[in-house]
Structure formats: C-alpha cells, structure tokens
C-alpha cells in the first residue's frame, strides 16, 4: 500500500472501479489521507468535509479513540461468527438498547450497513405480523438492496423495480416549503390533510395487509425535510389503530446528527423498530442494525429469527461502535451539537435573507440543507426533481474548488459537518458557502 501516485490511483479507479450511482469511467478525486474534519488529495489540497462524507463521519476522521479501539481489537480477534458471543458485540447491543430507551427497546440485530438494516427490519415486521405490505414515503431513501430499494421513494429505486418486489406501497410525505407555505397554510393544516390521506390510502390497501410503515424520522438524502408538527405522532397513532409496526430509519439521522441519540427522540412518539448504521461507527468499520422493542423481541423468543448474515455483529466493527458510542457520551456531543447549531442555523437563515437562490434553510442539530430556487417568489426549484441539470453540479464544483466538500441533489445543498467541528472551523468555512451562493445568484436566478 502507499506506492501509487495520485494520478495512478485516479486512473485505476477510472479503469476498474464501478462507482455507485454513476456511469463507469468518470473522474474521481483521489484522496490520500483524512484527519478531524478534513481530508487531503494527493497534491496536498485540503478539503473541509462539510457533509461528513455521506453524513456518516459524525466524529470526523481518524479519531484516536476509535482507531486505537480497532487496533486493539484487531490484535486480539478481528472476527468471530454470529453464533458466538464476543465482548464488543454484547457491550454494543446493551449500549444501543440503553440509548434508545430500555423501557421500550430490548434487543439488537446487527447488519453490515443501512440497507441491510431496513431489509431485515422489513423481514421481521412481516414475520411478526404475518402481513406483507410495507408503506414508505416518496421523499425517502432507505438503501440499495432489493427490499430497501423498493422501499425507497426517490428515483434510485427504479432499477430495483425492474424485477419487482412484493408489497411495497408509497405515500407522499409532506414538505412544508412545497406543500404548506406555498399555499399559505401552516403545519396543523398540512398534518391533518396528510394524515387523512394516509389513513384513506391504508384503508384502500387493506390495513390488515400492512406489516409496517417505514419512515426516516427526518428525511436526509432527500433534503433534510422536517416533518410538520404532529405528523410523526399522527403516523404512530395510525400504526396503533391498525396494528401496523412503525420502523424509524435512523441510518442518517441517528447518533446526535439532530442533537439526540436518535432523531425520533425530538418528537413525542416511540417507534417499534429503529434501523441504524453510519454514525454507529462513523464509517471506521462498516456496521448497521435494527433495535427492536419488547413486542418484536418477545416474538423472536418464541419463533426463529429467519435473518442471518455471516458478518452479523462483526467483532472489529462492534469494537469501533463501542468506542464511538463511548466518545459521544463522554465528550457530551449532545451539548456540543447544540452549541454549534447556534452558529450554523442563524448563518443558514442569513443565506435565505441574502441570496436570491436560497428559498429555505432547514437545520436541526447539525443536520442542515439549503433549498435552492431559481425564483423566490414562485419557488421554482433551481433544478427540477428528476431532471438532470447543470446548476447544482456547478455549485458543488465551485464549493469543492474552494475546499468546501459537500453533496446534495436536484435542489438542495447539505450542510452536515462532523459533529466535532469547532466554532473556529465553522467561521473559516461557512463564508465559502456565502461566496459561492453569491455567484449562483448572478448565474442562475431570475
């Protein structure tokens, strides 16, 4: 390792790697090293990781506490099979149940990442209820395996729909900027209408056939969409009314991204299952899983859990997880996120007031997105959903040129820095966003 030049790394990537969500043979930035909130390319150019890569590097890069825990575990035992108990797996399962709330939650099934977490939660819901259908939102992403992909709402599900998978039903989850404020109505009106629509749709599908409603507690990769007040609680009530299990996908929003262990803890309800990944290890070793409540756990005390993965509860990954969760707790990341939010959220609001191209700023904890528009009056998106365009790629490229690395999609920019970012780092990098938005105003707005 370490004997190739940056050019060679990039060329071999271009020649041999199939890149996610991309045509093959595209250029990729070769990255040599990372530390804290930064990573560096082979020319020594430094980038601030303002999206925590794919909103997973919550504790930044190369955190000594996680690296040391991995090294220590690697020296002792890298991997032990699922049917054996290992200290990191036992410890992590207990820590996760406690973080979710041991009064409701009881056990954890470990997977290798987010998609598998949702996949297995869906299987469990079907086994527990004996029902087939799974309701999920159009404005959502749940992963790229067959079931998780079919549950996802955005266009990334289309390839998985070619062969199909049984029983996936979509409903439209509200977005206030588009469904509420555009029409001059408030949260209460939107919530009431959205819940009535969902109830009706459930009745048309036959609620006795619905195993689960799977939702991101706060939609992430479709633009940090904050649910209108009362909406999630209303969905919970519908689940109770019809004996449906509620699965909250916390893959992106979990582990203090929103300021709490889990994003649903910002609201007034409790799900039946929580799916997680990303922030559980911050990507140092890949890991995911499902935390289940007593009802689901008890079912599998009487019935065989027909879920299994060679690497379920992978020892090295769980050791990274124990180190990450310990760090969140011992360094009071909750408090730090609350303090940094007080810098990021007002800055994002200022961007709305200052720039023609920013329609709305949404931010909870350090989970933020700017909604981009061509015209503030009409709220015409800078780039229409599902239509390839050049405006957003131009913005991301200009940000990257200036050392501000982030991502987004058709019409939003994610602002999700590592949770350990400091005031000084924010003050250094946020003005870059301001600068590029000024250029975007000129270039793209009416």
Ligand X SMILES: Cc1ncc(COP(=O)(O)O)c(C=O)c1O
For residue 245, the minimal CB distance to ligand X (Å) is 17
For residue 216, the minimal CB distance to ligand X (Å) is 5
Q: Which of residues 5-44 bind ligand X (CB under 6 A)?
A: none
Q: What is the DSSP letter of 253?
A: T
Distance (Å) of CA 95 to CA 28, 305, 333: 38, 22, 16
Based on the shown chain and the rule CB under 6 A, indicate whether residue 283 belongs to the binding site for ligand X. no
Residue placing its CB nearer to ligand X in the complex, 120 or 437:
120
For residue 114, the minimal CB distance to ligand X (Å) is 2
Residue placing its CB nearer to ligand X in the complex, 219 or 372:
219
Based on the shown chain and the rule CB under 6 A, indicate whether residue 277 belongs to the binding site for ligand X. yes
Based on the shown chain and the rule CB under 6 A, indicate whether residue 289 belongs to the binding site for ligand X. no
Residue placing its CB nearer to ligand X in the complex, 97 or 115:
115
For residue 92, the minimal CB distance to ligand X (Å) is 17
C-alpha 252/C-alpha 188 separation (Å) is 27
Residue placing its CB nearer to ligand X in the complex, 207 or 289:
289
Place of tokens 């009409």: 378
For residue 224, the minimal CB distance to ligand X (Å) is 11
Q: Among residues 55, 60, 54, 4, which one has the least CA distance to residue 31?
A: 4
Q: Which residue is nearest to ligand X (CB)?
A: 114
Instruction: Candidates 100, 252, 263, 415: give the one binding ligand X (CB under 6 A).
Output: 252
For residue 171, the minimal CB distance to ligand X (Å) is 17
Q: Among residues 404, 434, 435, which one has the least CA distance to residue 421?
A: 404
Place of tokens 């209820």: 129
C-alpha 351/C-alpha 157 separation (Å) is 33
Q: What is the DSSP letter of 192?
A: H
Q: Which of residues 177-236 bind ligand X (CB under 6 A)?
A: 216, 220-221
Based on the shown chain and the rule CB under 6 A, indicate whether residue 249 belongs to the binding site for ligand X. yes
Q: Among residues 259, 291, 271, which one has the least CA distance to residue 96?
A: 291
C-alpha 379/C-alpha 412 separation (Å) is 13
Helix residue spans in 56-170 (DSSP H): 64-76, 87-100, 114-129, 146-151, 158-161
Based on the shown chain and the rule CB under 6 A, indicate whether residue 366 belongs to the binding site for ligand X. no
Q: Which of residues 43-62 bind ligand X (CB under 6 A)?
A: 54
Q: Which of residues 108-167 bind ligand X (CB under 6 A)?
A: 113-115, 118, 141-143
For residue 118, the minimal CB distance to ligand X (Å) is 6
For residue 31, the minimal CB distance to ligand X (Å) is 19
Residue placing its CB nearer to ligand X in the complex, 12 or 159:
159
Interface segment toward ligand X; rule CB under 6 A; list 85-93, 182-190, 249-257, 418-426: 249-257
C-alpha 406/C-alpha 47 separation (Å) is 10
Find the Cα–Cα–Cα–Cα dihedral 261, 263, 265, 271, rounded to 10°: -110
Interface segment toward ligand X; rule CB under 6 A; list 163-171, 248-256, 349-357, 433-441: 248-256
For residue 115, the minimal CB distance to ligand X (Å) is 3
Q: Among residues 248, 243, 244, which one has the least CA distance to residue 232?
A: 248
C-alpha 375/C-alpha 100 separation (Å) is 42
What is the distance between the terminal CA atoms of the chain, rounded to a whole angstrom? Answer: 51
Element (H, E) at 300: helix 294-302
Give the binding site for ligand X (CB under 6 A): 54, 113-115, 118, 141-143, 216, 220-221, 249, 251-252, 277
């Amino acid at each position: 390792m370490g004997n190739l030049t940056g050019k060679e790394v990039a060329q071999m990537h271009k020649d041999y790697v199939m890149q996610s969500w991309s045509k093959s043979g595209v250029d990729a930035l070769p990255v040599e090293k990372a530390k804290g909130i930064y990573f560096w390319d082979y020319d020594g150019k430094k980038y601030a990781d303002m999206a925590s890569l794919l909103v997973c590097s919550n504790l930044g890069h190369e955190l000594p506490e996680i690296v040391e825990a991995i090294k220590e575990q690697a020296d002792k035992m890298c991997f032990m099979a699922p049917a054996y108990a290992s200290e990191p797996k036992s410890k992590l399962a207990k820590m996760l149940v406690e973080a979710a709330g041991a009064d409701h939650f009881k056990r954890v099934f470990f997977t290798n990442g987010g998609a598998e977490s949702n996949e297995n939660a869906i299987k469990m819901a079907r086994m527990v209820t004996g029902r087939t259908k799974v309701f999920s939102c159009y404005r959502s992403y749940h992963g790229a395996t067959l079931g998780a992909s079919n549950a996802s709402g955005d266009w990334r599900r289309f390839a998985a729909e070619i062969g199909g998978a049984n029983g996936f039903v979509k409903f439209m989850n509200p977005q206030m900027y588009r469904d509420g404020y555009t029409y001059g109505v408030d949260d209460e009106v939107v919530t009431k209408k959205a819940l009535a629509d969902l109830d009706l749709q459930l009745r048309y599908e036959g609620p006795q056939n619905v195993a689960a409603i799977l939702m991101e507690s706060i939609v992430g990769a479709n633009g940090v969409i904050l649910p209108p007040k009362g909406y999630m609680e209303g969905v919970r009530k519908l689940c109770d009314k019809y004996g449906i299990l509620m699965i909250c996908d916390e893959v992106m929003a979990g582990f203090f991204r929103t300021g709490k262990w889990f994003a649903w803890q910002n609201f007034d309800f409790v799900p039946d299952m929580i799916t997680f990944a990303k922030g559980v290890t911050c990507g140092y070793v890949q890991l995911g899983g499902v935390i289940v409540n007593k009802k689901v756990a008890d079912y599998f005390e009487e019935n065989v859990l027909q879920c299994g993965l060679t690497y379920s509860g992978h020892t090295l990954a769980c050791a990274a997880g124990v180190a990450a969760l310990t760090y969140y707790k011992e360094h009071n990341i909750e408090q730090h996120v609350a303090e940094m939010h007080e810098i990021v959220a007002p800055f994002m609001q200022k961007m709305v007031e200052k720039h023609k191209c920013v329609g709305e700023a949404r931010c909870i904890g350090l989970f933020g997105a700017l909604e981009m528009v061509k015209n503030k009056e009409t709220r015409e998106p800078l780039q229409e959903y599902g239509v390839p365009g050049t405006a957003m790629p131009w913005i991301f490229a200009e940000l990257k040129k200036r050392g501000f690395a982030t991502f987004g999609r058709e019409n939003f920019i994610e602002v999700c820095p590592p949770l350990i970012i400091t005031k000084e780092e924010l003050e250094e990098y946020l003005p870059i966003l301001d600068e590029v938005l000024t250029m975007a105003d000129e270039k793209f707005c009416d």
